[in-house]
Amino acid sequence: MTPEVTASGSSPSAPAPSTIASPSGASGLGWFFSLENRYLVPMFITTILIIGQISFGLLESWWQTFLAIAISILTELALGRIMTGQWPNMASAYISGISVGILIRSPLFWPYALCSAISITSKYVIRWRGRHLWNPSNFAICMMLLLAPEYVATLSVQWGNTIWPMLIVWTLGALITWRVKRFHITATYVVSFLFFAFIRGAMTGHGFLAEVAPITGPMYQLFIFFMITDPKTTVSSKRMQCLVAFLVAAMEMVLRLSENIHAPYYALTIVGPIAMAIEIWRTSRKQVESGPATA
């Protein structure tokens, strides 16, 4: 779940500047909620983490989450420097680390370190035509679930007993994704999930509320606000983004019908790269086709 929300992420082929300036004319609250503030999402997710942990003990432990963040940042620093010769921006790595620290659950320490390392390394290894295909932390979490299920599960708890924390996270998350122009992806996914929940309920006879239950948890809030909206691993056009969000929900339904507990992660890991690959292929074809005409 690595949302590299702002324009200049940590792509090895296009390393980001390591400092960020407040654009002229934008200051204070305006800048804080601006598209240029690449730290908006990291700050939001950090707030979720701190509130969740202090209020409800959301994390396995502070130390395991710190380890995930530290390994993520160190791996990014090392690989960025070695592979591109420049120091990468750390926002993406920070979000990867914190996502791993929140989303995987294990009483052990090494899964947090390993998941973070896989997450960052995957960005540098699994690339096609200069772009990485998988959302790094989504890919890493799926790998951990596949390779080490004895030691790793994913976040499955609620926001305490009241509805307020959930409402606050939904509201803030919606505001931020709106500001960074990704809300349509979130909205499409949520509507699709509800639609498919209704279908699943009818098919299984389990009732709509039982099928809707998962989306009321923090895991889904992180998933829909940060993971499926990741600009680096989503397609370009708004319409296609909505289509991909719908397809992720559709794939999730298929997986859920086969009782796959980690359906959303696997759905994104299956649909996301296929969509990316198609877009990269189409873009390159267009470039090839338009090449001779402009030459």
Q: Is 66 in the site for other proteins (CB under 8 A)?
A: no
Contacting residue, 76, 211, 230, 252, with other proteins by CB under 8 A = 211
Q: With CB under 8 A as the contact rule, which of the stretches 42-50, 159-167, 186-194, 229-237 interacts with other proteins?
A: 159-167
CB of 170 to other proteins, least distance (A): 12
Helix and strand element counts for the chain (H, E): 12, 4
Identify the CA nearest to 123 among candidates 274, 241, 2, 40: 2
> Of 186 and 221, which CB lies nearer to other proteins in the complex structure?
221
Q: How far is the CB of 167 from other proteins (least distance, A)?
A: 11
Q: Using alpha carbons, select from 29, 139, 40, 165 the residue that is nearest to residue 91.
A: 40
- How many other CB atoms are found less than 10 A from the CB of residue 226? 29
Angle at 262 between CA 164 and CA 59, to 5 degrees: 45
Q: Are 244 and 235 in contact (CB under 8 A)?
A: yes
Residue whose CB is less far from other proteins, 69 or 244: 69
Closer Cβ to other proteins, 115 or 228, answer by number = 115
- Cβ closer to other proteins: 187 or 212? 212
Comparing C-alpha atoms, which of 186, 200, 176 is closest to residue 242? Answer: 186
- Binding-site member from 14, 125, 175, 278 for other proteins (CB under 8 A): 125
* CB of 182 or CB of 262, closer to other proteins: 262
Helix (H) or strand (E) segment spanning residue 219: helix 218-222
Cα–Cα distance, 153 to 262 (Å, whole number): 9
Q: Kindly state whether residue 122 participates in binding other proteins, applying the rule CB under 8 A.
A: yes
Contact between 99 and 72 (Cβ < 8 Å):
no
Comparison of 37 and 135: residue with beta carbon closer to other proteins: 135
Q: How many residues contact other proteins, by CB under 8 A?
A: 56
Residues that bind other proteins (CB under 8 A): 56-57, 59-61, 79, 82-83, 105-110, 114, 117-118, 121-122, 124-125, 143-145, 147-153, 156-158, 160-163, 166, 204, 206-207, 209-214, 216-217, 219, 256, 259-262
